[in-house]
Amino acid sequence: MSDRIAYLVQGLGTGGLERVVLHLATEMVRRGHEVTICCYDKRGNLADEAEQAGARVEVLLRKGGVDVGYASRLARWLRRHRPDVLHMHNETALFYGTLAGRLARVPRLSHEKGVDVLIEAFARVREHVPEAELVLVGDGAERQTLEKRATELGLADHIRFFGMRDDVAQLLIDFDLFVLPSRTEGLPLTVLEAMAAGLPIVATAVGGVPQALRHGKTGVLVPPEEPEALAQAIVRLAANGQHMAHLGDAARKEYEAHYAISRMVNAYEAIMGR
């Protein structure tokens, strides 16, 4: 499953960060993703190479200094391109990109995240685990519809909608199980956060998820769009605390071995060295 990926950079001039973006964009295109690079100061001499590799390069200029209106212009750009992922590499891009992402209401609770499937599955879960509670973190266009469906299923008192949060890592500490019911994904940060927290994970086998989670060893994978299969996986884990603990511990070790920040920095350094 391909994703639409947007990179926000100052420009594609000759430099370490710019070459990192070029390498990432080139590889993402090679793997079948749709890539757009948005430059906020200049196009740069590496832009032609990026386009030759199959990426789209666009220039959306900001004014000098702190351009208070740039976040709004970038938000309109995001609404037009509708990327699944907005990738930023430095403080300036992070500043404008984060504001624009919020203004553009980049989806958390959206159709592709499969939260509706999870709610249907949760109704089945409570038939077997009546004490179960579901916490949904995120916001988006689907929230009102999801809240209505939860009420229709008699689950309004057992599903909590937390909305947008910037303390997800802290929230995960209090959870017993993490579920990702997405219809489509890249390599979701939420799964890596759950692995780092040592949580047992049930996730749909879409996108890059099977690369991070090995079925039966560091997590449980189920097909997308199948609430019954999702419910069964959750119920089986809930009935076996020892297996849950084993999966959580294995997921944490997998994260530390392959996805921790130090590993990512090493990979970036290797790319820049080349």
Query: For the segment 131-147, what is each residue's pLDDT rounded down to a tens digit?
Result: 999 999 887 778 899 99
Task: Record the tokens describing residue 178, joined without a space.
Answer: 């993490």
Classify burial at 241, counting beta carbons within 10 Å of its beta carbon; exposed 0-12, middle 13-18, buried 19 or more: exposed
Residue with the bigger pLDDT between 16 and 179: it is: 179
Confidence category of residue 64, pLDDT binned at 50, 70, 90: confident
261 has a pLDDT exceeding 70: no
**DSSP state at residue 138:** B
269 has a pLDDT exceeding 60: no
Q: What is the distance between the alpha carbons of residues 40 and 42, in angstroms, rounded to a whole number?
A: 6
Ramachandran angles phi, psi of 151, nearest 5°: -65, -45
Q: Is 88 helix (H, G, I), strand (E, B) or coil?
A: strand
Q: What is the distance between the alpha carbons of residues 43 and 138, in angstroms, rounded to a whole number?
A: 34
Residue with the bigger pLDDT between 257 and 57: it is: 57
Q: Are 35 and 25 in contact, with CB atoms under 8 Å apart?
A: yes
Average pLDDT along the chain: 87
Q: What is the distance between the alpha carbons of residues 16 and 14, in angstroms, rounded to a whole number?
A: 7
- Write the pLDDT tens digit of every residue in 87-107: 887 778 878 887 787 677 655
Helix (H) or strand (E) holding 90: none
- What domains are defined for the chain? 4-103 (3.40.50.10320), 111-258 (3.40.50.2000)
Task: Record the tokens describing residue 254, joined without a space.
Answer: 């997998």
Residue with the bigger pLDDT between 60 and 109: it is: 60
Task: Record the tokens describing residue 273, joined without a space.
Answer: 């060295």
Q: Which amino acid is at 88?
A: M
Nearest to 179 by CA among 91, 99, 120: 120
pLDDT for 115 equals 95
- Write the pLDDT tens digit of every residue in 190-225: 888 899 999 999 999 998 899 889 999 999 999 999
Q: Write out the DSSP string of 21-68.
A: HHHHHHHHHHTT-EEEEEESS---TTHHHHHHTT-EEEE-PPPSS--T
39 has a pLDDT exceeding 90: yes
CA dihedral defined by 77, 80, 82, 86, rounded to 10 degrees?
Answer: -10
Q: What is the distance between the alpha carbons of residues 86 and 97, in angstroms, rounded to a whole number?
A: 8
Instruction: Quote the percentage of the chain above a pLDDT of 90.
Output: 52
pLDDT for 33 equals 84
pLDDT for 262 equals 66
pLDDT for 271 equals 60
Give the bridge partners for 163, in sequence order.
137, 138
Confidence category of residue 66, pLDDT binned at 50, 70, 90: confident
Residues in the chain: 274
Q: How far apart are the first and last CA of the chain?
A: 29
pLDDT for 105 equals 60
Name the pTM for this structure: 0.64
Nearest to 252 by CA among 145, 172, 181, 156: 172
Residue with the bigger pLDDT between 81 and 3: it is: 81
Confidence category of residue 272, pLDDT binned at 50, 70, 90: low
Confidence category of residue 274, pLDDT binned at 50, 70, 90: low
Classify burial at 174, counting beta carbons within 10 Å of its beta carbon; exposed 0-12, middle 13-18, buried 19 or more: exposed
